[in-house]
Amino acid sequence: MEESKKIAAKIAVVYIVIGALWIIFSDRFSLILAENEMGAYVFFQRYKGWLFILITGFLIYILVYQRASRLVESAEKLKNKEKQLQKSNQHYQSLFHHNPDAVFEITREGKLAALNPEGEEIIGRPVDDLKGKPLDFLIHPEDRDYVKELFRKTLLGKPEKFEMNIFGKSGNNRLLRCTLLPIIVDEKIIGVFGMARDITHYRENEEMMIASEKLSVIGQLAAAVAHEIRNPLTSLKGFVQLMQVTKKADDKHLGIMLSEIERINLISGEMLILGKQQDILFGKEEVNDTIKQVIVLMEAQANLDNVGIDFAPSQDGPMFVNADQNQLKQVLINIIKNGVEAIDDHGFVKVVTAKTETQALIKVQDSGAGMDQERIDRLGEPFYSTKEKGTGLGLAVCKKIVERHQGEITYESEKGKGTTVTITLPLS
């Protein structure tokens, strides 16, 4: 409305100015003609009104044309923008409604604003029942505080990725992998977009693969552990037979016997812990202690293969990581076992730990045959193995476990110079 008033006022002002100028100059021109040429004066007086109309009409036409062309151009631009907006809206609606993942919109207050059909399917409730309500009652109590903190960070402009448990259809527990993104309009965050994928069955299959591979490793270690236990048992048997003959108990012999029994107990205990079916439980674990426990188990196979295992722990103090100890042991056993098997005879496997400000580093180096780059690039692929009878699942499981611990596993190798496996985990 204000713009219309401005245009009308501008035309009126132009008309008034032209009229005033015409009156002033036409009167002066008339006086000049009256003094010099009466015929011309009469002609001018008769037609000066028409001349004024012609001049003002032409000038007003130019003004109106300029303004009208701008308005038409603006209208065309607006029309094109509306078409683009409609297309963008259709793209958004298509992405929203036909997305195979759950897509939802949450207000700054944490209330649901929109939910796509896949989200309704995962939750098991229609959007009309949930719209305008907070969703924290759907989140598992153990994850609520954690998710609320991530939501708060997203409202500060930081996208977040995480996994959480919710109560899905029929109240059953579902595991979702989620992403939260801030909604920014006019440089203000007005809410949060979220995407979630149901990975419950995927995680169950993953757990089955990890458990299957762990049992396979335990089976392969069993023969070496049995051989390792047989040696102290032979010593114990010999000392017991000696005591039966002499009817005496030598303190020196008793010390050796207790030491051998302790070693048997340590090895069998580690085997039992590794083989026991346990729930995944992340906690604060000390990396060097875990490696020492693994080496107790792996020394049995290393001794059979004439391979030495050296451990050089970090000199910067303890290294704590947030991990499931059983799964961390499984990774280390797989890596060290691969190193031992890569050596033909009389070699070594060296385990080195170090830490930076934010990460714990575990390096497992072997003096084996090494590999070319083509094989290194494929390590970690399921069912790809460099061993004649290997399944190819060992390193695939290791990679999956390390990624679950927010870490990374890398390989370096050279033909004839051995292989180095580096595991990086974030410090707790």
What CATH number should be reported for the domain whose range is 203-426?
A: 3.30.565.10
Tokens representing residue 136 in the block:
């924290």
**Identical fold between 99-198 and 203-426:** no
Taking the chain (428 residues) in runs of 10, the rounded mean pLDDT of each run is: 72 77 75 71 72 77 78 83 80 77 88 86 82 84 87 89 80 83 88 86 69 63 62 67 71 69 65 55 85 78 80 85 82 83 81 88 84 63 46 67 84 81 87
Q: What is the DSSP string of 133-195?
A: SB-GGGB-HHHHHHHHHHHHHHHTT--EEEEEEEE-GGG-EEEEEEEEEEEEETTEEEEEEEE
Distance CA 340, CA 324 (A): 24
- Domain parsing of the chain, residue ranges: 2-96, 99-198, 203-426
pLDDT at residue 122, rounded to an integer: 82
Distance CA 400, CA 331 (A): 10
Distance CA 209, CA 206 (A): 5
Residue for token pair 């094989």 = 375
Query: What CA–CA distances, in Å, run from 321 to 90, 332, 418, 428?
Result: 47, 15, 28, 4
Residue for token pair 């527990």 = 173
Of 227, 226, 255, 225, residue with least CA distance to 239: 255
Distance CA 394, CA 380 (A): 8
pLDDT at residue 251, rounded to an integer: 67
The two most distant CA atoms of the chain are separated, in Å, by 165
pLDDT at residue 247, rounded to an integer: 73
Distance CA 211, CA 37 (A): 119
Three-state SS annotation for 262-310: HHHHHHHHHHHHHHCCCCCCCEEEEHHHHHHHHHHHHHHHHHHCCEEEE
Task: State which CATH number among 3.30.450.20, 3.40.50.300, 3.40.50.20, 3.40.190.80 fits the domain covering 99-198.
Answer: 3.30.450.20
Burial classification of residue 258, based on how many CB atoms lie within 10 Å of its CB (0-12 exposed, 13-18 middle, 19 or more buried): exposed
What Rg value do the Cα atoms of the chain yield, rounded? Answer: 42
- First-to-last C-alpha distance (Å) of the chain: 63
